[in-house]
Amino acid sequence: MNRRRIYSNWFMVPAMAIFTVFFLIPTVISLFFSLTVWNFDSFTFCGLDNFKTFFSDESLYSSIINTMIYAILTCVLKLVLAFFLAVFLTSKIKTKNFLRSVVFFPNLISTVAVGITFSALMHPTKGLINQVITTFGGTSVDWLGNTDIALYSVILTDVWKGVGVATVIFIAGMQSIDKTFYEAAAIDGASAWQRLKAITVPLSRPAMNSVIILSFIGGLRTFDLIWAMTGGGPGYATEVMASTVYKQYAAGYYGLSTAGNVIMFALIALMAFPLQKFLLSKEVD
Amino acid sequence: MKKRRFWYLFGDIIGLFIAFIIFIVPFIFMLVNSLKERKDANLLSISWPDALRWENFIEVFQANDYQIVTAFKNSFILVIGSVILLIITGSMCGYIIQRRSDKVTGVVNALIMTGLMVPAAILPTIWVLQRIYLYKTITGMILIEVALNLPFTIMLYRGFMNSIPLELEEAGYIDGCSRWKLYSKIIFPLLKPVTSTVIVIKAVTVFNDFTNPLYFLPGSENATVQLTLYNFMGQFESSYNLLFADVILITIPMLILFIFFNKRIVDGMVAGAVKG
């Protein structure tokens, strides 16, 4: 049978047309506009000035650092928490289906709604979290107002919302592990911890890689949670790349904003692609 | 054996307790505060309201000249338009990519998969939208959502096509089916399970999208549900009861979807993650 005749390339045209016009073309021309000072009607070429500004201005530069902290921390926390949650939720406890749903559900609600709720819970004087801390004799913490803590408060909220997806990915991975491995190990007298280390960890590697890549990229692109909780503040303590792109746009610095976007591409290309290559190469053996 | 059963019971109790504190308390918090009087809600406590004030919800509906009604209408148009287009274009493209593996489909596949990682270039996209007169229109917004969600959709369809045997198409081809009929009468009905996954997951994603409408669909008459919520945040800063009533209004559709399609959603997310 002639494959070329049955499967026409024309079938890909609608998808590719939309994808090209609304994603590929903007991505390519962003490389050009990041080298200009422009509004939507005209532009002046200015070489690498936008990028120089980005790396010399402290508030802009710190957004790059914050993005990395955010991506790495959310990724690590989700990975570790989700792994142990998945081990717990694949055991023989009775309420596991209910608990899986409970852990997963926050992922479906709007990020803005989550942001609003957690800002209220983290309120410096009235917030529920501080109420609990002070009842137990601790001192209340200004979760979102303290420049040293604010970023980490948002990170924790992100983990709260996103750990469910990572958990279900791990659960799917762990359920596909052959049960006989565990039985054999148990007969040989391996402890629960040894079985976890020698069987569960290596055999849920594909799931682990998906979780790492997904949450790392998600972390690099984060915007709405930051925007709903702190708006980048206090000062620029929680400013990330995506919020800088928005702020520079709102302030009318379109060139800087586009340059910020290009730096985001570069971060993803320089960090996520090699990370994925590395993880996949580990998966083979 | 008895000892082990005790530990599982212990695990159940600890699990329920921690899940309650960490995952359920925030929802109770939203709910009770959405039903309080303004003064009580502003205390941000989790106590049960003295009297249930359902009027809060009516007040949210009436705010800003029934803006939330317009917003729900906009969001639904956006969701329905994007999901229909995604299904049609995504299934056709995923079908061909999986069936024909040559240079062209290889390039197409590689390009589309970059879309899974690379974020959208915001301002150049606005520039393109302005050039074709689609900026600040629902049509433009639908096309953007389709472009940004195509990679995931195509990946799901491509993965599912693996499990559909070639024989059906061969038989259809020999019987003289046209290419379009092969796809629309034979393949597309077989893709039903993955299509329903795409519908649910993409409806949730598009409905919850805040960033893209913020950039590409500004203007109060165009506001989507997420944007009204964001606007309320500034406007109702001192009336948390209304703010949380709005939060609840937005969360309930998702809760209903989740109750009915729990397995679909979870399976779809896992399939997308593992194959990517």
Which one of A29, A92, A210 has the shortest CB-CB distance to B276?
A210
DSSP bridge pairs for A38: A43
Could you tell me if residue B68 is inside a domain? yes
Alpha carbons A89 and A244: distance in angstroms, whole number = 39
Name chain A contacts of B122, Cβ cutoff 8 Å: 245-246, 249, 257, 261
Q: Do A120 and B170 touch (CB under 8 A)?
A: no
B196 occurs within a structural domain: yes
Q: Which residues in chain A have their CB less than 8 angstroms from residue B112's CB?
A: 15, 19
Residue B140 has pLDDT above 90, yes or no: yes
Q: Do B99 and A7 touch (CB under 8 A)?
A: yes
**C-beta of residue B215 within 8 angstroms of C-beta of residue A250:** no
Using the beta-carbon criterion (under 8 Å), do B254 and A108 form an inter-chain contact? Answer: yes
With an 8 Å Cβ cutoff, are B183 and A11 in contact? yes
Do the chains contact at A116 and B233, CB–CB below 8 Å?
A: yes
- The count of domains in chain A is 1
In a 10 Å sphere around its CB, with 0-12 CB exposed, 13-18 middle and 19+ buried, how is residue B4 labelled? Answer: exposed
* ipTM greater than cut 0.85: yes
Confidence of residue B275 (pLDDT cuts 50, 70, 90): low
Chain B hits for A128, CB-CB cut-off 8 Å, are: 25, 29, 44-46
Identify the pLDDT of residue B188.
92
Joined together, the tokens standing for residue A169 give 């990915």
Token pair of B158 as six digits: 């491509």
Q: B272: closest CA among B171, B213, B202?
A: B202
Amino acid in position B232:
F
Residue to test with chain B: of A117, A140, A163, A273, most B Cβ within 10 A = A117
Q: Is residue A20 part of a domain?
A: no
Question: In the structure, what pLDDT confidence band is assigned to residue A2 with cuts at 50, 70 and 90?
Answer: low
What percent of chain A shows pLDDT beyond 70?
97
pTM comes to 0.89
* Neighboring chain B residues of A245 at a CB cutoff of 8 Å: 122
On average, the pLDDT of chain B sits at 87
The helix or strand, by DSSP H or E, that contains position A45, with its residue range, turns out to be strand A43-45
Report the residue from B24, B132, B270 with minimal CB separation from A169: B270
Backbone φ and ψ for A44, nearest 5 degrees, come out as -125, 130
Q: Do B97 and A169 touch (CB under 8 A)?
A: no
| Residue B5 lies inside a defined structural domain of this protein | no
- For residue A158, the enclosing domain spans 46-284
Residue A69 has pLDDT above 50, yes or no: yes
- On the CB side of A200, CA atoms within 13 Å amount to 21
Residue A10 within a domain: no
Residue B247: list chain A partners with CB under 8 A. 113, 116-117
A152: domain CATH number is 1.10.3720.10
Q: Which DSSP category does A40 fall into?
A: S
What distance in Å separates residue A246's CA from the closest CA in chain B?
8
Closest Cβ–Cβ partner in A128, A207, A268 for B44: A128
Q: Number of A to B CB contacts under 8 A, please give it.
A: 252
| Confidence at residue A70, expressed as pLDDT on a 0 to 100 scale | 94
**Do B23 and A106 make contact, defined as CB atoms within 8 angstroms?**
yes
Report the domain count for chain B. Answer: 1
Residue of A nearest to B180 (CA): A11
pLDDT grade for A17, boundaries at 50, 70 and 90:
very high
Q: Per-residue confidence at A3, pLDDT binned at 50, 70, 90?
A: low
CA closest to A12 among chain B residues = B93
- Is A33 in contact with B123 (Cβ distance < 8 A)? yes
Residue A160 lies in a domain: yes
Residue B77 has pLDDT above 80, yes or no: yes
The whole-angstrom separation of Cα B95 and Cα A219 is: 31
Whole-number Cα distances in Å, B142 to B128, B136, B147, B193:
15, 11, 9, 24
B189 pLDDT band, cuts 50/70/90, is very high
Type and span of the H or E element at A44: strand A43-45
Q: What pLDDT, on a 0 to 100 scale, did the predictor assign at position A95?
A: 84
Distance from CA of B246 to the nearest CA of A (A): 9
Neighbours of B193 (CB within 10 A): 13
CATH classification at residue B268: 1.10.3720.10
Contact A216, A71 (CB under 8 A): yes
Report the SS3 class of residue A6: helix
Q: Which residues of chain B lie closer than 8 angstroms to A110, CB-CB?
A: 207-208, 210, 225-226, 229, 250-251, 254
Q: Which residues pair with A37 in a beta bridge?
A: A44
**Helix residue ranges, H only, A90-238:** 96-104, 111-121, 128-135, 150-175, 179-187, 192-195, 201-203, 205-221, 224-229
Return mean pLDDT, chain A: 88
Q: Identify all chain A residues contacting B85, using CB atoms and an 8 Å cutoff.
A: 18
Q: Do A18 and B147 lie within an 8 Å CB cutoff?
A: yes
Residue B158 lies in a domain: yes
- Using a CB-CB distance cutoff of 8 angstroms, which residues of chain B are in contact with residue A15? 89-90, 92-93, 112, 150, 154
Token digits for B58? 């009516």
Which of B117, B209, B212, B232 to probe by mutation at the A interface, max A CB count within 10 Å?
Answer: B117
Residue A127 lies in a domain: yes
- Cα A208 from Cα B129, distance rounded (Å): 39
Residue A40 falls inside a structural domain: no
In A, minimum Cα distance to B270 occurs at A169
- What range defines the domain where residue B247 resides? 55-275
> Is A166 inside a domain boundary?
yes
Give the residue from A2, A23, A163 with the most B CB atoms within 10 Å of its CB, the best one to mutate. A23
- The token pair that represents B109 in the structure block: 């596949």
Cα distance from A32 to chain B (closest Cα, Å)?
A: 10
Check: CB of residue A111 under 8 Å from CB of residue A227: no
pLDDT band per the 50, 70, 90 thresholds, residue A262:
very high
Do A207 and A170 contact (CB within 8 A), yes or no?
Answer: yes
Confidence at residue A4, expressed as pLDDT on a 0 to 100 scale: 61
Q: Is the pLDDT of residue A78 over 50?
A: yes
B231 burial (CB, 10 Å; 0-12 / 13-18 / 19+) is: middle
Classify residue B64: in a domain, yes or no: yes
Contact list, B273 vs chain A (CB under 8 Å):
165, 169, 210-211, 214
For B9, nearest residue in chain A (alpha carbons): A93
Q: What is the pLDDT of residue B234?
A: 79
Summarize pLDDT for B194-222 with one digit per residue, the tens: 898 899 889 999 999 999 999 999 888 88
Residues B263 and B207: their CA atoms lie apart, in Å, by 19
What was the pLDDT predicted at B276? Answer: 44
Half-sphere exposure of A254 (CA within 13 A, CB side): 20
Average pLDDT on A231-255 reads 88
Residue B163 maps to a domain: yes
